Amino acid sequence: MTPPLSTSQCPTVRLVLAISLDGRLAPPQGGAAQLGGAGDRRALEQALAWADACLIGAGTLRAHQCTCLIRNPQLLEQRLQEGRPQQPAAVVVSRSLGFSRTWQFFDQPLQRWLLAPAPMHQGFDRWFPLAPTWPERLQALGAAGIQRLVLLGGAQLTADLLAADCVDALQLTVVPQLLGGPFSWLPLTDSSLPACLVQPGAWQSDGVEDLGHGEWLLRYQRIR
């Protein structure tokens, strides 16, 4: 495994997800899940306001055909006062170019960047080659001015970044709902995560917040 590059070169990566009590992202039949209420939405928008960009897997984009936007006027004004765009850039990770320009994503008011083996100029504002390792890919985003990155999934993209030990923080909203089925927030495979991630002391609690209506926000920091 290639070790992560220094924090001066790579953005800080925060995984932001809403998950069911049994750790699922979607119902057994697949498709877009409707997890999280108003409290989770508020926490999500605060994370987006913190971020310079959000990282989205192509499968997640195909399921939703759009990405999350900041709607809170105070957060939008805060970003403007900081000299930043109102919305963080959306960085889509894909090994193929099967996107439809009819998706709502291509009409949303944000910068669309593509991390893929080959460029797709139509609909995207910027292209980054899909370098061999995640530390190299993150370094390229860091060189483009991305210092804070929110990872929005999906499960395979999350697993790939964790396998490279490139996730610095977890922000998980636990929703009082059971879904069942195979769609866990990490893929259900026989593959192991790196030993450095599963050993005691790898993660430290950074707080718990009651979001209301039975939802709880759990925050953890990676201890390196």
pLDDT tens digits, one per residue of 47-86? 999 999 999 999 889 888 999 999 999 999 999 999 999 9
Residue 205 lies in a domain: yes
pTM, two decimal places: 0.92
Residue 138 counted as domain residue: yes
* Residue 113 within a domain: yes
66: domain CATH number is 3.40.430.10
Total number of domains in the chain: 1
Which structural domain, as residue segments, surrounds residue 115? 12-24+35-222
Q: CB-side exposure of 65: number of CA atoms within 13 Å?
A: 7
Q: Is residue 215 part of a domain?
A: yes
CB 160 within 8 A of CB 132: no
- Is 133 contained in some domain? yes
Task: Identify whether 163 is part of a domain.
Answer: yes
Both tokens of 103, joined, read 């998706």
Spatial distance between the Cα atoms of 191 and 193, rounded to a whole number of angstroms: 7
pLDDT (tens digit per residue) in 119-163: 876 799 999 999 999 999 999 999 999 999 999 988 999 999 999
Whether residue 1 is contained in a domain is answered as: no
> At which residue do the structure tokens 């439809």 appear?
100
- Three-state SS sequence of 28-42: CCCCCCCCCCHHHHH
Mean of the pLDDT values across residues 83-91?
Answer: 98
**Beta carbons of 135 and 4 less than 8 angstroms apart:** yes
Whether residue 7 lies inside any domain: the answer is no
